[in-house]
């Protein structure tokens, strides 16, 4: 009987928990690295609808032909450093998205190693 009471209490507690944001909206993303002025990203995830820049970051994007839910995204920021952009999505609680840095350049327009660019998503 005591086990059943604990199980019921736990179920009620978990039912009241907030599992994070859901529904349509935007996910903030940041691509950053030392003196990074531009990057080409491949971003994939179900329900992504578009991309917009934040601050001085300009964003250019297109769907990858023949690959569902995969996009090439070009970020350019003359100020360099931290490039912020938004993802418009159907569900802010979605799994992912996943990202691969394809190429990167510094503010001097010279190529830099892709491993020096870190992309983070904030919900």
- Specify if 39 maps to a domain: yes
Per-residue confidence band for 20, with pLDDT thresholds at 50, 70 and 90: low
**26-43: pLDDT as tens digits:** 999 999 998 899 999 999
- Specify if 28 maps to a domain: yes
Number of domains observed in the structure of the chain: 1
Per-residue pLDDT at 2: 59
- Specify if 37 maps to a domain: yes
Q: Are 93 and 113 in contact (CB under 8 A)?
A: no
CATH of the domain at 102: 2.60.40.680
Domain boundaries, position 54: 21-122
- Specify if 71 maps to a domain: yes
Residue whose tokens read 């005591």: 2
- Specify if 4 maps to a domain: no
**98-107: pLDDT as tens digits:** 999 999 999 9
The neighbour count for residue 59, using CB atoms within 10 Å, is 21
Residue 25 pairs in a beta bridge with: 89
């Amino acid at each position: 009987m005591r086990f059943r009471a604990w199980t019921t209490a736990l179920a009620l507690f978990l039912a009241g928990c907030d599992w994070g944001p859901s529904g349509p909206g935007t996910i903030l993303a940041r691509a950053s690295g030392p003196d990074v002025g531009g990057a080409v990203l491949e971003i994939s995830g179900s329900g992504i609808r578009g991309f917009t820049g934040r601050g001085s970051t300009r964003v250019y994007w297109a769907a990858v032909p023949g690959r569902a839910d995969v996009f090439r995204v070009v970020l350019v920021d003359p100020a360099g450093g931290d490039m912020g952009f938004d993802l418009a999505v159907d569900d802010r609680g979605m799994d992912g998205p996943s990202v691969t840095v394809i190429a990167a350049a510094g503010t001097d327009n010279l190529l830099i190693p892709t491993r020096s660019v870190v992309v983070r998503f904030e919900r």
